[in-house]
Structure 1
Amino acid sequence: MPLRFEELDFQTTPMGEISLRRRYDPAAQQDVYEVRLGDEYLMSSLFTVAERELATLALARLDSPLARLDAPAGGLRVLVGGLGLGYTALAALADPRVGDVTVVEYSGPVLDWHRRELLPEAAGLATDPRCRLVQDDFFRRARAEPEVRYDAILLDIDHSPRHVLHPSHAAFYAADGLRAMSRHLADGGLFALWSDDPPDAPFEAVLGQVFAERSAHPVDFPNPITGGRSSNTVYLARGVTAR
């Protein structure tokens, strides 16, 4: 009989106590990997459709590698904000046009899980030659002067623009924060954001202050726990109106 529950790692961080757990879900009939921060569920391997779509929807809207002197020889350059269970980075690497993926993750334990290959579906991500895992604060980097420009920036850290993991993140989702981040995009580059909430018209309006094109894409997926369907949102934005 499968092991019903196992805590694979537990560590104390500046954001709170973070843990990685594996449990057998009888409804889904599979092992499920879950991350908790304190008493809050952050992510689950049971629901990964929208995390993958964050990459695939964004990259589908990009042409072949942009003609830049600093473009990687293999193709498109992608920045992923938030490593999590690794599904967004894996989806980006699955696109043959992608030559370089940099993943910025604040939490040392999360990076450690991948380097120790505690997550079977993401095994090999940390050693993929096209992928670089960096421990840093994505929001700090977004405010800093760009050293590199990316064809796509894919962000999945907070639950939504309104439900952030830390109060300091909130300023990013205002026009000034998004405009600072946009300096890290190459010409024609695209910003994509995952959200656990339905499309938010006021946030789309904020995107419209920075980008000429923006759209919200509900992503539906089956929920074996409820027996019904659930939905997340992926926002896409491109065409910076002003740096």
Structure 2
Amino acid sequence: MTLNIKKCLVISFSNKKQKYLYNYELSGHTLERKSNVKDLGIIFDDQLTFRTHYQYITTRANKLLGFIIRQSQDFKKPSSLLNLYYTLVRSLLEYGSCIWSPFYEVHRKSIERVQKKCLKVISYRSGFNRTLYSYEQRLQKFKVTKLETRRKQQDLIYLYKIIHAYIDSPSLLSFLNINISCRTRNYAPFMLRSYINNTSFYNPLVRMCRTYNELVVKNTQIDIFNPRIHKFKADLTRNLS
């Protein structure tokens, strides 16, 4: 296989201040080293904080939302603007979220702020700006789900697909430590150990298992081991929305 050397890069993932860096060569050419790399639409930084990705998607989403608002001045139905938002903006804010889902409040708020802006415009155009003051009221009125809630849903659906082999990945499945003890009041289906840093604590699979453990304590009817995926999705929507 012939590789395009100009498109080949090197990135080293580490939280250490003093990183061990090595110059890699390909066909006699030293490969360029980067601190940020975009792979399949997701920007990875060398510490896996995804801060660059958050900035990228929120900036682009705000530009797209601004374009939609300007070009939809004559739209009378809120559903028309919402459909454009779902297709062009929300899809961008959710793509690959199972990998980069933010754990710091500042990043969660910056992403959620895009949807808040959209609903505020729809509320104003619909004549509800004097009655719908809060974000929660607008969510309920226009039947929209918080982006943070949707990310949790996507996390748990992804976890469900790993367990039931919708995603055929024995290596991912091997990372899941299932608690086989009898179900009790505070039963935790997945066993989690202690982690020394945020990168490990918020590892995607660890985050998914912890989210389900916390959810199932309050909503015992949500069963990730249920063979009917449609039932599982319906229970998630009903209890997380």
TM-score, structure 2 normalization:
0.27
Structure number having the greater helix percentage:
2
Give TM-score scaled by structure 1 length: 0.27
Larger Rg: 2
Q: As a proportion of its length, which structure holds more strand?
A: 1
